Amino acid sequence: MIRRPKNFIEIMELRKSGVPAYVTNGDFLDEFYAAPNRLKQSFLDDEPPLIKGVEITPSALAQFAAIAEKLAHDYDLHVPEWTSKPIYYLDTPYLAGKPANEYPRELIECLIDETPIEFSKRNLIVTDNILERR
- Please check the confidence at residue 52 and state whether its pLDDT lies above 90: no
- Please check whether residue 134 lies inside any domain of the structure: no
Would you say residue 67 has pLDDT above 90? yes
The DSSP 8-state label assigned to residue 124 in this structure reads: E
In a domain, 133, yes or no: no
C-alpha–C-alpha distance, residues 128 and 115, integer Å: 5
pLDDT tier at 1 (50, 70, 90 boundaries)? low
Residue 2 domain flag: no
Q: Is residue 130 part of a domain?
A: no
3-state secondary structure of 75: coil
Check the CA dihedral 94-78-13-32 and report its sign. negative
**Predicted TM-score (pTM) of this structure:** 0.93
pLDDT tens by residue, 72-91: 999 999 999 999 999 999 99
Residue 82 lies in a domain: yes
DSSP 17: T
Counted domains in the chain: 1
Q: Of 77 and 15, which is predicted with more confidence? A: 77
CB-CB contact of 60 with 22 (8 Å) = no
The answer on pLDDT for 54 being more than 90 is: no
| Domain span at 113 | 8-125
In sequence order, which residues have a C-beta less than 8 Å from that of residue 47 and are 6 or more positions away?
Answer: 8, 80, 82
What single letter denotes the amino acid at residue 115? Answer: T
Identify whether 3 is part of a domain. Answer: no
Q: Stretch 3-29: mean pLDDT, rounded?
A: 93
Would residue 26 count as lying in a domain? Answer: yes
Q: Does residue 68 form part of some domain? A: yes
